[in-house]
């Protein structure tokens, strides 16, 4: 898919469609969520996120769940806890089945992603990092 921001169109092999101003794919949507300043956010606050997936645009959101300290491969890390709204399909049973923890510092490292899927669950933990832009201040 080609994102034509000037023409406000998504252009693909099968289909062209109008593009909302801030539409994201799954990967860029995750990176976008990491850039938001949550210092004044309240627990339960939601943030809109238009996602392009499988020839459709979904008007989704993600929820701020507060600050939580979790144990990781590099010790305890203070994290921002987020819950993205998922597209219920052949992978996800419920739109609230995923939680993401990113470091509560200038790096916003994705420390953990945990999700339920139709056939079980997945837990992904960051096991190493290097070349950070900022000090890893969230590591306790």
Ordered by start, the domain boundaries in the chain are: 2-125
**Whole-number Å distance between alpha carbons of 98 and 53:** 17
pLDDT of residue 92: 84
> Any idea which of 2-16, 88-102, 105-119 has the lowest mean pLDDT?
2-16
What is the chain's alpha carbon radius of gyration, rounded to the nearest angstrom? 17
Strands of the 9-11 sheet, one edge to the other: 2-4, 9-11, 16-18
Contact 83, 96 (CB under 8 A): yes
Gap between the terminal Cα atoms of the chain? 42
DSSP string, 84-137: EPPPPSSS-SSTT-EEEEEESSSS--EEEEEEEETTEEEEEE-----S-SS--T
**Whole-number Å distance between alpha carbons of 113 and 101:** 6
For 1-22, the pLDDT digits (tens) are 778 888 888 877 778 888 878 8
Stronger pLDDT, 49 or 66, i.e. the higher one = 66
For 24-64, the pLDDT digits (tens) are 887 888 888 888 999 999 999 999 988 888 778 888 899 99
């Amino acid at each position: 898919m080609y994102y034509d921001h000037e023409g406000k169109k998504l252009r693909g092999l099968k289909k062209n469609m109008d593009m909302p101003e801030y539409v994201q794919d799954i990967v860029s949507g995750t990176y976008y969520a990491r850039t938001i300043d949550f210092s004044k956010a309240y627990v339960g606050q939601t943030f809109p996120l238009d996602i392009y997936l499988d020839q459709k645009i979904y008007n989704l959101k993600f929820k701020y769940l507060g600050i939580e300290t979790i144990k990781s491969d590099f010790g305890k890390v203070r994290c921002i806890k987020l819950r993205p709204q998922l597209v219920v399909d052949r992978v996800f049973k419920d739109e609230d089945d995923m939680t993401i923890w990113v470091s509560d510092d200038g790096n916003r490292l994705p420390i953990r992603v945990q999700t339920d899927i139709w056939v079980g669950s997945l837990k992904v933990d960051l096991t190493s990092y290097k070349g950070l832009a900022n000090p890893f201040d969230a590591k306790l």
